[in-house]
Each structure stands twice: as structure tokens, then as C-alpha cells.
Structure 1
């Protein structure tokens, strides 16, 4: 019979393993109004811990080169540099967002997180929204495109589903919940709708929960939900991400 001390040891080992797994799924994010190079360098230095690297670091476009250089300095060749376009309100002109995307890729961005013009979904202009995403996807080439639908601003599950479908059909590599800049960000309810749309599409599209995932327990809930819909083994950095900042400070491994 396993005694209480052994049970605690097993539970601790499981928690450490979970923390290491979650760390590898995180896009470590800093998108604050007054960011500077020192903030970005400090962020990137958190991307490698005990020989394990997070999935990516997400910064404003002007800090792409700083992030790339810092990853080299800390010998982290695993984490990718992510940046945002049409951020945060999704209301910039397509021509402007195309230029943002071109510049970000030229500066070395590995992944683009595009804010969907979600107001078009609210106005029942799904075709226009899809055309917008398709245009940015065409600029990305081999650079990964994650599309933020801002699920907390979409009032119903139907709108979240329609926004997710637009992204999937337009060729997005990931559908992402939120910018983290609105009152309601990632929720399990929205994640369920998005993941179900991805599963039903039968396309290879990933999922990213962003905004509000602050501890290991919360992260594990999203992982469990994704595996319940997409199947065991689906959750890995190529298909599942968590956009977070403070979360990594809570992960002990």
C-alpha cells in the first residue's frame, strides 16, 4: 500500500511534469504601452528554464530584432519570435496591415498574430473578414499565421463559431481567442466553440488561448478540453499555445 509520503511525492512529480509541459506550450507575451528594450530582454530571458524552452516570445513589432538577438545570447534556438498586426482593435486598413506584416517578416518575425477585423463578423460581413485574412496569409509564406478573433467581444457562441470558421477557411494556422486588451478574454466556453469548429473542419489548424490563463490549474483545464475534443496527443506546440506573461512565474519544475 502506498503511504501518505509516497502519495505526496507522486503528486509533486506529476505537478512538476505538468508545469514543464505547460511551459513548452507558452507564447511568453509582453505587449504593454510603455515597453522598451530592457523589458523585452527581461522577458526573453525567461523563455528558457532548466534547459526547457517555451514555444515563443510575443512582442511588439519594433522589438522583433531585440528578441531575436536575446534568444541567441541565451542559446535558445527553440522559441520563436511572435509579433502582432492590426493590434489591438482590428480596425486598421488592409493596406496598412499588409505593410505591417511585410515589415515584421523582414525584421525576422517567425509568427504573425493578426487581429481579425471582428467588427465585420458583428456586422454579418463574414466574406469581407475572410478576404482580409486571406490577404495577410498570402503575405506570410512560410511564416505561421495565428488569427485573434477577440472572442470576448463576440456576443454569442454562433458569432464565435462564425469567426472561427472564417479563419479556418481563410487558411489560418491557428485560431486565437483574445488580445488580452478587452474586459473578457479567453474562456473555456469560447475555447470549446473554437476547438469544435477546428475539429469539424478536418483541417490542420491550431488553437491558442490568450488572456487570463494565470496558473497551472487553469492551463491544465484548457489542455484537458483540447484533448477531449481533438484527441490524445493533439496538444503540442505546433497545434496548441497559451499566450501568457505571469503564468511562467507560477510554473515550478
Structure 2
């Protein structure tokens, strides 16, 4: 992945506010119409098969529950490595995403597979913790082998207009990540407007995010087509301005193959074909992979397997 060009730290909250509120406003009606139009695009069978395999390779297979156990993480890792045990041609997932205390288990289970380990840190999902605790959580996950950190921004600070606090926290976590990539979760369902989604996207990008991510998956609405479209516009505009590439990760609510393919169409049309790569586009999901595998089997055999044919996550 090409790292984002981190902007110089803002001199003051006012300077950052002036930049963010100086961004062009979002035409919410226009965004909704474009997202709806892109959702009607259809693709042929051969292209659909390729799209399904690409979507599988983009999945961050995720378990983020209080009842998670080492055994559940190992089972998820086995599925990420070999999604369809009956078909070795099925590609592996991009990564397994777990809480920081289970990173070492996931790393051991995935060693040598090429599947990455991502960890949510920074007091996921609420983000309500002192910065020192967030940095300690990040450093532990990286030390245990996480290649990616998914941090959540302080939405309270953002909505109160304290953009400098959010900027400083992202920069501090980015530094704590060391060699690991940083995905910054905006929790778009709590940002209220698409203008705020655009501002939060730019705030995260300028502070050093390698990816911007819609949601924790714990708040509804999550990865709506409109929010994903606005975020894709932001990374494209950043590339146009700086030449640097930043990834996008929708998470929450993408459960079917149709949903995944609609997102891939949007990526191609809004950001561009460069983003049709797991290095720049991920889908955070737990149940999506099963539907992708069922559709893949149907295309290959003509038979649609039942929902219990694959392991239930």
C-alpha cells in the first residue's frame, strides 16, 4: 500500500476548523441519486465470478464479541485461510480482525498463510478512554503481531468541534502503530450529516490514516451507500491533490453478495480501478463470506447450496 502523505500538524483548532468547514458541501440529494443509480448496474456471469473472488480477498473476517474465545479465533482463522475446504481454488480472506488480547492467538493460527491480523484498539467501540490507554492498547496489539490497527475516533470531540483533539489522537496512534497500518473508524452513523462524513474523512486522511473506515458495526446505520460514496470521493480527491493513496473500509450491514458487488461497482466508478485491490479496499464482515461462497458454488456447479453448507460465524 502507498502510504498517505500526512499533512503538517495544524497550528490550532481554528486553523483545522477553517480547513474542514471550507470543504465543498455535500449535495445529499445528488449523492443519494448517484448511489441509487450505481446500485442498478449489472455485471455478466464471468465478471461476477471474478468480482466474487475479489470480494472474498477483500474481506476482513471479524469477531468482536465479549464472548470471543481463543478457540473461536482459531476457527475463524482456519476459515480465513481456506474459506471453502471443499474447493482449494477459493481465495483466502484479507485479514482476521479481533480484539487486542486475542491478537497473539490469531497470529499463531495464521502464520505463513498470507492472511493478515487486524486488531481494534483505542477503546473500541466507544472510544471513551484516556489517550494513554489507547496508545498502550495499540502498542500491545502491534507487539503481539498485528499488521493493522483499526482505531475509533472520539466522536464526542468531533461533534463538539474539537477537531484538534481528534487530529492529535490519530497522529499519536499512528506513531504507536510503528510498521502496522492504521484504519481510522469514523462511526458514520453517529456523525449525523454527510458534510460531517466528508470532514471526518479529510481529518483522518490528513492526520495519517492508511484507511478510513465507516463503522464499528455496533451502531446503525453503518456502511450506507451514501457514506461509502462520500468517503470514496474524499480518497480520490486526496490522490488528485497529493498523489498518495488511502484505502476505504465499509463495515456493518454488508451481508450479501449483491451488497458486496454494488460496493465494488461504486469503488470503480467513484474512486477508480486502482482501489479494486485488497490493499486499498476492504469489507468488514462476519456473515458476508458465507453468502459469497454460496454464490461462488452456484456459479461453478449450477447448484445453490443451503445456508448451513458453510460454517456459520
Output the TM-score relative to the length of structure 2.
0.74
Matched, 1:92 2:133: no
Displacement after TM superposition at 1:117 (Å): 0.9
Q: Distance in 2 between matches of 1:223 and 1:53?
A: 18
Q: 1:33 aligns to what? A: 66
Q: 1:44 aligns to what? A: 77
1:131-164 CA-partner distances (Å, limit 9, x unpaired): 1100111111221000000001110011111111
Q: 2:99 aligns to what? A: 60
Q: 2:266 aligns to what? A: 225
Q: Distance in 2 between matches of 1:216 and 1:82?
A: 23
Q: Which among 216, 235, 252 is matched to residue 211 of structure 1? A: 252
Q: Which among 50, 64, 71 is matched to residue 17 of structure 1? A: 50
Q: Which among 155, 169, 173 is matched to residue 132 of structure 1? A: 169
Q: 2:9 aligns to what? A: none
CA contact (8 A) 1:208 1:240 kept: yes
Deviates more, 1:195-204 or 1:38-47: 195-204
Q: Secondary structure at the match of 1:33?
A: coil
Displacement after TM superposition at 1:48 (Å): 2.4
CA contact (8 A) 1:126 1:162 kept: no
Q: Which among 163, 181, 197 is matched to residue 160 of structure 1? A: 197
Q: Distance in 2 between matches of 1:18 and 1:226?
A: 12
Q: Distance in 2 between matches of 1:228 and 1:12?
A: 20
Matched, 1:187 2:224: yes
Q: Distance in 1 between matches of 2:233 and 2:220?
A: 24
Q: Distance in 1 between matches of 2:247 and 2:50?
A: 23
Q: 2:20 aligns to what? A: none
- Larger strand proportion, structure 1 or 2? 1
Q: 2:181 aligns to what? A: 144
Q: Distance in 1 between matches of 2:194 and 2:250?
A: 16
Displacement after TM superposition at 1:35 (Å): 0.7
Q: Distance in 2 between matches of 1:233 and 1:95?
A: 36
Structure 2 residue runs without a partner (length 5+)? 1-42, 83-87, 297-313
1:196-252 CA-partner distances (Å, limit 9, x unpaired): 111112231100000111011101111111111221242101100000001111113
1:66-85 CA-partner distances (Å, limit 9, x unpaired): 1111113xx52x11000001
Matched, 1:245 2:278: no
CA contact (8 A) 1:206 1:240 kept: yes
Structure 1 residue runs without a partner (length 5+)? 1-9
In 2 relative to 1, CA 170–250 (structure 1 residues): closer, same or farther, beyond 3 Å?
A: same
Select the structure with the greater relative contact order (CA < 8 A; seq sep ≥ 6): 2
CA contact (8 A) 2:247 2:275 kept: no
In 2 relative to 1, CA 209–69 (structure 1 residues): closer, same or farther, beyond 3 Å?
A: same
